């Protein structure tokens, strides 16, 4: 497990593992779509994304809730979205 602190668009733009199994989003909600776009090619099939307060990022929710984009996603506990990468 690796935790990176700081501006996500900067800290996640380099030196990333080839495959990501778990992505936890808990920062600037408006950046969730950009962060996903940055890391999407590295998410392995079966990877899990946990996004805190995802309701504040409607573009993110619209994207991951569309099965045509390769995800299955459900709200969890009222303020968290749990998403599975299909393939």
**pLDDT band at residue 5 using 50, 70 and 90 as cut-offs:** confident
pLDDT, residue 72, reads 97
pLDDT digits (tens, 9 = 90+) for 26-55: 999 999 999 999 999 999 999 999 999 999
Q: How far apart are CA 32 and CA 18, in angstroms?
A: 20
Neighbour tally for 10: CB within 10 Å: 9
Asked if residue 83 has pLDDT above 90, the reply is yes
pTM, 2 dp: 0.91
Ramachandran assignment for 36, one of left (phi > 0), alpha (psi -120 to 50 degrees), beta (any other): alpha
**pLDDT band at residue 87 using 50, 70 and 90 as cut-offs:** confident
- For the chain, list the domains and their CATH numbers: 8-85 (3.40.50.150)
């Amino acid at each position: 497990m690796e935790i990176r602190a700081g501006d996500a668009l900067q800290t996640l733009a380099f030196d990333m593992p080839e495959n990501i199994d778990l992505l936890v989003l808990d920062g600037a909600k408006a950046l969730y779509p950009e962060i996903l776009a940055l890391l999407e090619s590295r998410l392995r099939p079966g990877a899990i994304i946990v996004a805190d307060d995802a309701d504040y990022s409607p573009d993110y929710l619209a994207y991951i809730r569309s099965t045509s984009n390769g995800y299955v996603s459900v709200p969890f506990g009222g303020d968290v979205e749990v998403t599975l990468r299909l393939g």
